[in-house]
Amino acid sequence: MTTSEEAQEQQRVDHVAAQIGERIDKTTSDYTAAHKELRNVLKNYSENTSVNWFEVDDRIETSAELQQQRALVSRLTENQNIIQDQLDTFKELQRSPYFGRIDIQDPGETTPESLYIGTASFVDDDQNFLVYDWRAPISSIYYNGVLGQVAYNTPAGDQQTDLLKKRQFLIKDGQIENMFDTNETVGDEMLQHALGEQNDATMQNIVATIQREQNDIIRDTKSDLLVVQGVAGSGKTSAILQRIAFLLYHSRRDLEADQIVLFSPNRLFSHYISDVLPSLGERNMRQVTLAEFLTQRFQGLKVQTQFERYEADQQAPVNHRLRDFRESAALMTAVKDYCHTCPADELKFTDIRFDGRVFFSKEEIRDIYEQFPDATAPADRFLRTKNALEKRLKHRIADEAKADWVRDEIDQLNDEDYHNWLGANHLGEFEQLDDEIDFIARQIVRKRLRSVDDAIYNGYFLDAYSQYTAFLKHCPLPDDVSADDWQTVIAAYQHDIEFHRLALTDAAPLLYLRDLLIGGGANHRMQHLFVDEMQDYSMAQLIYLQHAFPRAKLTLLGDSEQALFKAVESPESILKKLDSALNVKRSRLITLRRSYRSTYPITTFAKALLPDGDQIEAFNRPGDLPKVVIRYDEDTAFKALASEVSTELATSGTVAILTKSTTEAKRVYQELHGQFDLTRLTDTDRSLPKGVVVLPIYLAKGLEFDSVIAYNVSAENYPDEQMTGTLYTIASRAMHHLTLLSIGAVSPLIASGKIPQADLTIEHEFQN
């Protein structure tokens, strides 16, 4: 690249930055005006709320006026927020207006055209696109195309063009720090730069360096089920976040950020990724962990979390065949069949009681239910029963309203309470005083019978928990599950329920049964459902999620090699299972094999841990070899750990000591906390502090650290292949440095001949 070309490009950056600067000035004054208007309305509003509430006529008028003002305030606030967002975007753009340039020549044109691509579009006052949004249709060729004839997708169909040049920029604070031309999708140099940076407390967007296969994930708008299987550090999480930004742009008119939900592995992760979308000028999608979702659905029950189960599994042997069946698609099908065929006399109806007495008996409820045709879906039948009960309740309210106690109560009302019962909406509605009194009497009774109303509305008259026991007793078993084992499952479930607990395994089928019989549970508003770390979800859970978000397109991402909670599976077999279980029209599998997070030596080591690790392609970023530190007793091991932490802290922003379990994390914390600024993270933590952290690996899912120290990778702690996923996940959290501390002989997973000794630095303590 010649210096004159560089100077020309810098001139253009200066020009664009100046234009953006002008726009910032204008938008700032728009903001000030909007803010002033809002302040005035708010002032007015607060004056109005102190008006006379006693005169009925005034009250009606004031309330209408207030409603109008409230609407005005919300409109003005929204307007102010939009301007604020624009300002933020412009300021960001001014610092770094773009990262790419493409020169294209459309068919029939005689001269090429240069387009610049950045995180958002910028159009000058003469409608010239000085910067194209990275999500614009034309921008896709920046990510996908090599020089020559290329095609890109537009709303009007596929377009062809000739791609003549592709240039990348690194612009900071308005200065071009680096630029080069490339024929690759997005050149390695730029990527090297991005990946060499130190870890931040939150994840960064990757729009300047999206790789081709990641781009496929981001821009897929056709699949109903998109399954991404990618090795650790291959950018799955990054890709989904940019995908969300892309979808919001692509379907601007009919998709809102809160119609997208992401199931994330833990709260730390939720916080870690929370800056990416705002950095692209978009609002964050909804985020929820599986535990939060289930807790919300099972109010009053303590649902076991994945982490609690993982810890429990370490203590007692697990019957995998049994668990596999309980979490399978087959079990969910059995639930469905059961719900659709269960005769009314086997449904566990319960009395609705009031004041210690039966208000609607279960027999009465069953009789109502039986009136509706058998062929109707059970939830519809249930709904009709609810409606019939509501009707009966209404009659009983009307009867009760005539009772003496109600009339006595009305007689004792003062004027204000009387008006309150009547409510603003009904003022002047009744011609006769009797009608008015009757109305109030019914309101009073309705309030008194509120718990009955709630029980009907919420369907509390069917005991879903006992029904689930009935289902379990009825459930057809596969050959490899014995009746005795099944009895223990039933007994354990009943015991848990008695103590208001629920095992994770039971959560999905129980919810499914409840929804199918009672109705509800489905959120029809969600348009996209994303599940990160899908390998930690059972098929039953995924089926339930699809049921809970029936209109949502699914994007499931995971790495079966990082399965902490179950066995490894091939991507193809996962897709096949999902295809048949979820029954979607268009499904697609994208596999990512290139790992970006870690240095070359760390990825080389991590992949050697896996039986089929040679499929993983390490990104060529140089770094130190992983270091194995071996000590033979706890005392010296902790000394060695302290010394490693000090060394790492000197060069790394975040150092994580990763353990297998919470018990180990507590132990490490106990030993080291006086020596460093050390934080032990638990599943209630929401943000990652700088410095040294210690946490069990399952809480570090999806996260990354400059330096990772794996605590006690001894043969005793990691005895066999069952632990491969755990060790691989730990190793693959490291970006720049990896240290493995072993107390006693090293795990055979590391010491086996599979891992060339030349790939490691080994520091041994000599025994006397």
Ligand X SMILES: Nc1ncnc2c1ncn2[C@@H]1O[C@H](COP(=O)(O)OP(=O)(O)OP(=O)(O)O)[C@@H](O)[C@H]1O
Q: Which residues of the chain form contacts with ligand X (CB under 6 A)?
A: 191, 194-195, 204, 206, 209-211, 214, 230, 232-238, 559, 596-597, 702, 704, 732
Q: Which amino acid is present at 140?
A: S
Alpha carbon separation from 664 to 646, 670, 706, 710 (Å, rounded): 20, 10, 21, 11
* Lookup: tokens for 117: 């691509």
In the complex, least distance from residue 714 CB atom to ligand X, rounded to whole angstroms: 24
In the complex, least distance from residue 276 CB atom to ligand X, rounded to whole angstroms: 9
Is 653 a known ligand-binding residue?
no
In the complex, least distance from residue 17 CB atom to ligand X, rounded to whole angstroms: 24
Q: Is 555 exposed, middle or buried (0-12, 13-18, 19+ CB in 10 A)?
A: buried
User: What is the distance between the alpha carbons of residues 187 and 78, in angstroms, rounded to a whole number?
Assistant: 41
User: What is the distance between the alpha carbons of residues 292 and 306, in angstroms, rounded to a whole number?
Assistant: 11
Q: For tokens 């753009």, what's the residue? A: 93
Per residue, the 3-state secondary structure of 411-452, as one string, reads: HCCCHHHHHHHHCHHHCCCCCCHHHHHHHHHHHHHHHHCHHH
In the complex, least distance from residue 557 CB atom to ligand X, rounded to whole angstroms: 7
Is 165 a known ligand-binding residue?
no
Is 623 a known ligand-binding residue?
no
In the complex, least distance from residue 733 CB atom to ligand X, rounded to whole angstroms: 7
Is 196 a known ligand-binding residue?
no
Is 281 a known ligand-binding residue?
no
Contact 273, 264 (CB under 8 A): yes
Tell me whether residue 575 or residue 590 sits nearer to ligand X (CB atom). Answer: 590
Tell me whether residue 206 or residue 247 sits nearer to ligand X (CB atom). Answer: 206
* Lookup: tokens for 223: 């699949």
Does residue 210 sit in helix, strand or coil?
Answer: coil
User: What is the distance between the alpha carbons of residues 581 and 335, in angstroms, rounded to a whole number?
Assistant: 14
Tell me whether residue 204 or residue 451 sits nearer to ligand X (CB atom). Answer: 204
Does residue 501 sit in helix, strand or coil?
Answer: strand
Residues whose CB falls within 8 Å of the CB of residue 509, separated by 6 or more in sequence, listed in order: 326, 331, 332, 335, 468, 471, 540, 544
Tell me whether residue 506 or residue 704 sits nearer to ligand X (CB atom). Answer: 704
Length of the chain: 768
Tell me whether residue 210 or residue 564 sits nearer to ligand X (CB atom). Answer: 210
In the complex, least distance from residue 372 CB atom to ligand X, rounded to whole angstroms: 49
Tell me whether residue 436 or residue 536 sits nearer to ligand X (CB atom). Answer: 536
Tell me whether residue 241 or residue 746 sits nearer to ligand X (CB atom). Answer: 241
* Lookup: tokens for 586: 């268009």
**Nearest Cα residue to 513 out of 545, 475, 465:** 465
In the complex, least distance from residue 65 CB atom to ligand X, rounded to whole angstroms: 52
Tell me whether residue 186 or residue 508 sits nearer to ligand X (CB atom). Answer: 186
Tell me whether residue 571 or residue 702 sits nearer to ligand X (CB atom). Answer: 702
In the complex, least distance from residue 573 CB atom to ligand X, rounded to whole angstroms: 19
Is 110 a known ligand-binding residue?
no
Helices and strands (H, E) in the chain, number of each type: 28, 26
In the complex, least distance from residue 619 CB atom to ligand X, rounded to whole angstroms: 9
Contact 187, 201 (CB under 8 A): no
Tell me whether residue 223 or residue 237 sits nearer to ligand X (CB atom). Answer: 237
Contact 625, 669 (CB under 8 A): no
User: What is the distance between the alpha carbons of residues 767 and 752, in angstroms, rounded to a whole number?
Assistant: 22
User: What is the distance between the alpha carbons of residues 514 and 520, in angstroms, rounded to a whole number?
Assistant: 9
In the complex, least distance from residue 238 CB atom to ligand X, rounded to whole angstroms: 3
User: What is the distance between the alpha carbons of residues 204 and 277, in angstroms, rounded to a whole number?
Assistant: 9
Burial 436-455 (b: 16+ CB within 10 A, else e): bbbbbbbbbbbebbeebbeb
User: What is the distance between the alpha carbons of residues 470 and 165, in angstroms, rounded to a whole number?
Assistant: 68
Tell me whether residue 213 or residue 671 sits nearer to ligand X (CB atom). Answer: 213
As a dihedral over the C-alpha atoms of residue 392, residue 394, residue 395, residue 397, rounded to 10 degrees, the angle is: 120
In the complex, least distance from residue 90 CB atom to ligand X, rounded to whole angstroms: 24
**Nearest Cα residue to 708 out of 595, 606, 593, 617:** 606
Contact 321, 489 (CB under 8 A): no
User: What is the distance between the alpha carbons of residues 561 and 452, in angstroms, rounded to a whole number?
Assistant: 51
Q: For tokens 């409820």, what's the residue? A: 365
In the complex, least distance from residue 702 CB atom to ligand X, rounded to whole angstroms: 4
Alpha-helical segments (H) within 652-698: 662-672
User: What is the distance between the alpha carbons of residues 645 and 514, in angstroms, rounded to a whole number?
Assistant: 51
User: What is the distance between the alpha carbons of residues 273 and 205, in angstroms, rounded to a whole number?
Assistant: 9
Does residue 130 sit in helix, strand or coil?
Answer: strand
DSSP 746: B
User: What is the distance between the alpha carbons of residues 257 and 247, in angstroms, rounded to a whole number?
Assistant: 9
User: What is the distance between the alpha carbons of residues 146 and 127, in angstroms, rounded to a whole number?
Assistant: 29
Tell me whether residue 232 or residue 294 sits nearer to ligand X (CB atom). Answer: 232
Does residue 591 sit in helix, strand or coil?
Answer: strand
E strands, 561-720, in order:
587-592, 594-595, 617-618, 627-631, 654-659, 678-680, 691-696, 705-710
Task: Point out the residue whose Cβ comes nearest to ligand X.
Answer: 235
Is 761 a known ligand-binding residue?
no
Tell me whether residue 210 or residue 410 sits nearer to ligand X (CB atom). Answer: 210
Tell me whether residue 232 or residue 545 sits nearer to ligand X (CB atom). Answer: 232
Is 222 a known ligand-binding residue?
no
In the complex, least distance from residue 539 CB atom to ligand X, rounded to whole angstroms: 20
Tell me whether residue 228 or residue 437 sits nearer to ligand X (CB atom). Answer: 228
In the complex, least distance from residue 597 CB atom to ligand X, rounded to whole angstroms: 4
Contact 619, 191 (CB under 8 A): yes
In the complex, least distance from residue 243 CB atom to ligand X, rounded to whole angstroms: 11
Binding-site residue ranges for ATP:
230-237
Binding-site residue ranges:
230-237
